[in-house]
Amino acid sequence: MPRIAVLTSGGDAPGMNAAVWAIIKLGAANGVEIVGVERGYDGLIDGEFRPLTRATAGGLVPVPGIAWLAGTGGTFLGSTRCARFLTPEGRKAAADRLTGAGIDALVVIGGNGSLTGAHRLAAETATTLVGIPASIDNDVGGTTDALGVDTALNTILEACDRISDTARSHHRAFIIEVMGRRSGYLAMAAGVAATADAVLLPEQPKTSGEILDQLEGLIRASFAPERDKRRLLIVKAEGVPIPTIQLASDLEERVADLDDVSVRASVLGHLVRGGRPTYQDRMLAGRLALAAITALGDGHSDVMTAWSSPMGTPTIDTSVTLVPLAAMIEETKAMLDGSSEVVRRRVRLLREVQGVLAL
């Protein structure tokens, strides 16, 4: 009987559990034993496997007690940052564990760092594997969306709406920092949806002085007597280097002459990563998992299932393609250094609406 292992790696993302559950169900339906790897690549090196399907008289079924998976956030298999896996010796130890456990293939669910590690494992040890992109930052090259992005955006949007209630009540300007590392996607998408007055992105580099000048001017114009504006909302990506609390403090000093106007900061932090996955993330998890299991059955390896991507090999699902992990790595580098057309297009679009946001 074929055996497939599945692991989650890197930062947790809503939808990871839904993808694991889909893999369990698809494996059982196709007579494929599914094994979970606990604690990501660390657990793979240490051989921490747990059965996720079991044999019955009627065939394979999921093991008891995990039917709740699809509707939960985080990752029940656990995840770590694994320094050992960064070395060829660590990757060989991981491959040896798979072979020793009689495992035929591996599904890796994670972000660009985890999928880069998967590519190296496949290239160096001939391990058969497929990746599923999962990162709230949406910084995985070659896919329009990754697991967790939609849930994170909805969480940010709810926080912006709640903070806006307070801002309107007290005539305040709020700076809200959201996660995203070096990618400003969450800040841009949530800022537009929340009708923010400004969005600060690492893809639009500015000095601290330029940012302060821009935002001071925005506050003065927005709270001018002829405007009946009671709330100002600025969404800032964590990749913008000026500290958010310091930015709010400096701005408040600059506009101290304005009556009844204050500036506050709120750093959402890890709040953005948790929570029950939305419909969109559960649907995405199921379809990417189906493509992953099908790809392994068709003999593919060293690829990632990608959503609505212009690159890659088509699958039976017209919205999903198989993108080589090597191509994902190159496109991710381009996204993070700003040379990707995807990032350039995002920045152009934001530039077009900046004047509109401030109205």
Catalogue the active-site residues.
Answer: 137
Q: Which two tokens stand for residue 286?
A: 């199921």
Is residue 244 within 8 A of residue 236, CB to CB? The reply is: yes
Taking the C-alpha atoms of residue 288 and residue 283, their distance in angstroms, rounded to an integer, is: 9
| 297 Cα distance to chain centroid | 27
3-state secondary structure (DSSP) of residue 349: helix
Contact 232, 170 (CB under 8 A): no
Taking Cα atoms as reference points, which of 108, 80, 35 lies closest to residue 303? 108
DSSP label of 258: S
Residues 26 and 201: their CA atoms lie apart, in Å, by: 40
**E strand segments, 84-152:** 105-110, 129-133
Task: From 343, 325, 347, 324, select the one nearest 334 (Cα to Cα).
Answer: 343
C-alpha pair distances (Å), 126 with each of 94, 97, 163, 301, 332: 12, 14, 51, 9, 23
CB 4 within 8 A of CB 35: yes
Amino acid at residue number 96: D
Measured in whole angstroms, how far is the alpha carbon of residue 42 from the centre of its chain? 21
What count of other Cβ atoms lies within 10 Å of the Cβ of residue 328? 27
What are phi and psi for residue 50, nearest 5 degrees?
A: -140, 140
Residue type for 264, please?
Answer: R
End-to-end CA distance of the chain: 63
